[in-house]
Structure 1
């Protein structure tokens, strides 16, 4: 009986040290967002006049166009659509911050527009953002790949 108790205690002790992952595995490194990100997939829905419209779209689209976000290391950025046939890209400047798993983007129009996005994944190559905008009546999960 004593041997059985010691074996169970040893297994429990070994499991105690290896069972839990470190919280640092789930932390976001805000510096990894710096760079240029191409939208590759967007899925969600929007509500227009009380009617729900689902979407599931891959990019580049049929014309080869895709949205791009550029995040600079000084908290500024620009978003634009890349069109293969266009000579110049028009962009919307913004400021941003990362706090925990929240990316806040502020467009400085006449009336500032602020988006709070949940960072589902951020690595040196991949970015997945989730937005549940109740006021604008849409939900979106967007997947990006780093291009610069």
Structure 2
């Protein structure tokens, strides 16, 4: 039941934002290949910082999480506009890409959860 409710909420959310998009969306698109590589979490809403050594590796639609160099979890990801969607089967989490440069990544969720990264490679 929870999954059905989550799916319906995500569908409604997507519909609302699709219907209200700007006409000149080209400036909002993120180059999806720019996210490829290994990223170290430098700051997170939960208090995680660089010393915790959590890394995310983005590689051609696959996201792998590592905890101090050890494999933790693997997911699929996609980028559309400024939205990063992380999927684990039917479960999805969507983040807004606030900053993406050659060395920095900053993402946030609609509930205020924020993660900042520094690119390692």
**TM-score normalised by structure 1 residue count:** 0.58
5+ long unaligned stretches in structure 1: 1-21, 44-54, 83-87, 134-138
Partner of 1:118: 96
CA positional deviation for 1:24: 5.8
Which of the numbers 28, 31, 43 marks the counterpart of 2:30?
A: 28
RMSD: 2.2
Partner deviation per Cα, 1:26-62 (whole Å, 9 max, x = no partner): 531111000011100123xxxxxxxxxxx5x3513xx
Deviations 1:92-115 (A, max 9, x none): 11111000000001124xxx4311
Q: Show structure 2 runs of 5+ residues with no match.
A: 1-23
Larger Rg: 1
- The structure that is helix-richer by fraction is 2
- Deviation, 1:81, is 1.4
TM-score between both structures, scaled by the size of structure 2: 0.70
Counterpart of 2:62 (choices 71, 76, 89) is 76
**Structure 1 moving runs of 4+ over 3 Å:** 22-27
Equivalent-residue separation in structure 2 for 1:126 and 1:26 (angstroms) = 17
What residue in structure 1 maps to residue 49 of structure 2? 59
Provide the residue aligned with 1:147 in structure 2.
120
What is the count of residue pairs matched by the alignment? 98
* Alignment-derived partner of residue 40 in structure 1: 42
In the alignment, the residues of structure 2 paired with residue 33 and residue 98 of structure 1 have an alpha-carbon distance, to the nearest angstrom, of 9
